[in-house]
Structure 1
Amino acid sequence: MRLYGVVGYRNAGKTGLMERLVAEITGRGFTVSTVKHAHHTFDVDQPGKDSHRHRVAGASQVLLSSGARWALMTELRDQPEPPLADLLAQLAPVDLVLIEGYKRDSHPKVEAYRAETGNPLIAREDATIRAVASDTALDIDRVVFDLNATAAIADFILAEVGL
């Protein structure tokens, strides 16, 4: 499975870059799936809906299906968060999986960086970051793209993964 990550601090532009990359790469005819790491409790289910009621009642997994899509939710119920590799094994085969977050994992990454946040560059300390997408010029030993140069960043990622 070909993987490429997008990392960066909060408000650095990760989600916007991910969204643009998915549109750009799928527009070129490749299939793409995404994985997003959340550092907080989140809920994709709606209180009062049947699937939410099943989950709250104690179901370990709830699979919701319709003619348009299906979703599988798994409650960890005090178990540790599974490693990225275990989650990736749940995905159907695609040309590329783009991963938002998981900055400590070993897959190659591009860092989204906005100077206004005042955060340091992760790439200075992390060799898995192969490029930086920034809103400002940077002096770093990595390829640096304009944060909005989506086509160029997509070209770079596709070349890196051999597509």
Structure 2
Amino acid sequence: MRRPFVIGFIGWSGAGKTTLAVRVTAALVRSGLRCAALKDAHHGFDMDRPGKDSWRYRESGAGEVIVRTDGRWAMLTETPAGRAPIESLLARFSPENDVIVVEGFKHEGDYPKIEVRRTESWIERGGDASALTPLHDDVVAVASDAPELAAPGLPLLPIDDPGAVARFILDLRRGAS
């Protein structure tokens, strides 16, 4: 069974990870690929509303609840021990996907990552290089709006050109297969 190619987007809050990842996902889909997305949220969220059937099942103690409608389904899984490991989340995606775009999970997962560095969020952190996210071994490129935010030895991708970033990912994917 083939596995989807996984690419991550990491960086400081406010750097533009979501905007870039969404735009790159759209470019990959336009190129004919089937894409999925996984986002790490640092704030709580809930798809349920008190009183709704799925909420009632969760309140009853069900650890997983699937809700199905025409054209969509969703699974809600309780993780009382904390955040689910990224490997278990990636395993839930269909193997029919060509690419899984991951946002966040900076310290997790063994897959290539693109670090997003935007001037505005860099300045908010004092404008010095030490305020940038420390590079991890799995960072394969930096996407930025400023050449001075580049990382030595890594490609600098234009943050405002999702097509160029998508082409970089397609080249990585070809090299991985």
> Normalized against structure 2, the TM-score is what?
0.84
Aligned to 2:147, the other structure's residue is in SS state coil
Alignment length (residue pairs): 161
Match of 2:106 among 103, 107, 111: 103
Match of 2:83 among 77, 81, 91: 81
| Residue segments in structure 2 that go unaligned for 5+ positions in a row | 126-130
**How is 1:11-90 mapped onto 2 (pairs within 5 angstroms)?**
11-76=14-79, 78-90=80-92
Alignment check: 8 A CA contact 2:142 2:151 kept: no
Query: Is 81-90 or 41-50 further displaced after alignment?
Result: 41-50
Structure 2 residue aligned with 1:144: 156
Distance 1:25 1:67 in 2: 26
What is the Cα deviation at residue 52 of structure 1? Answer: 1.5
Poorly superposed stretches of 4+, deviation over 4 Å: none
Structure 2 residue aligned with 1:121: 132
What is the Cα deviation at residue 47 of structure 1? Answer: 2.6
| Residue segments in structure 1 that go unaligned for 5+ positions in a row | none
Structure 1 residue aligned with 2:128: none
Distance 2:70 2:54 in 1: 16
Equivalent AA in structure 2 for residue 95 of structure 1: D
What is the Cα deviation at residue 82 of structure 1? Answer: 2.4
Equivalent AA in structure 2 for residue 155 of structure 1: R
Q: Percent identity of the aligned residues?
A: 35
> Normalized against structure 1, the TM-score is what?
0.91
Distance 2:72 2:31 in 1: 23
